[in-house]
Amino acid sequence: MELVYYPDDRLFAETGNVGVFDEVLQNILQAMVGVMHDNYGIGLAAPQVGLTQRMFVVKIPEDKEARLFVNPVILETSADTWEYEEGCLSIPEIYAPVQRSQTVLVRAQDQFGKKFTLEANGLLGRVILHEMDHLNGVLFIDHLSKDVREEQLILYNSIER
Ligand code: CO
């Protein structure tokens, strides 16, 4: 399992819900957690490793274990927002402030298919919204103004790898 980098088509592929919660799925989710850890990320969505299932993993610094979200649905987002600098494992070395809702209510299933609802705020809520975007082919740079987005992409393309 390997990270997919912007502008790879797989970041924009259509995704679909998971129907079978078997060992194969659980192994994929664990592998995603591994890729997230290895790259010092706090979130990773399936399209970032070339998969089309609607699922992502999150582990913010204060979490002891990774949180797994399968078939996530955003039920509510607060009207009040806050701005914070974001980056993305698929767009390395690019960081920019993004405005997002303060609080998010998300419903999802765990690796066994068990449903749960979570109200998250602060960094956790932000990461959930960022990863949720990935399932819809949306990247954090898409939340920037046109000028700033262009500026960041010029910078991204100028970095030698
Ligand atoms: Co990302």
DSSP one-letter string for the chain:
-----TT-GGGGS--B-----SHHHHHHHHHHHHHHHHTT-SEEEGGGGT--BSEEEE--TT-SS-EEEEEEEEEEE-S-EEEEEE--TTSTT--EEEEEESEEEEEEE-TTS-EEEEEEEHHHHHHHHHHHHHHTT--GGGGS-HHHHHHHHHHHHHS--
pLDDT at residue 142, as a whole number: 97
pLDDT at residue 160, as a whole number: 84
Of 110, 100, 79, 101, give the one whose Cα is nearest residue 143. 100
Q: For the chain, which residues score pLDDT lower than 50?
A: none
131 is catalytic: yes
The one catalytic residue in 65, 131, 150, 160 is: 131
pTM over the 0.85 mark: yes
- CATH homologous superfamily for the domain 9-158: Peptide deformylase (3.90.45.10)
Note residues around ion ligand 1 (Cβ under 5 angstroms): 88
- C-alpha torsion 65→71→29→120, nearest 10: -20
What is the 41 CA–ligand 1 centroid distance (Å)?
9
How remote is the C-alpha of 15 from its chain's centroid?
A: 13
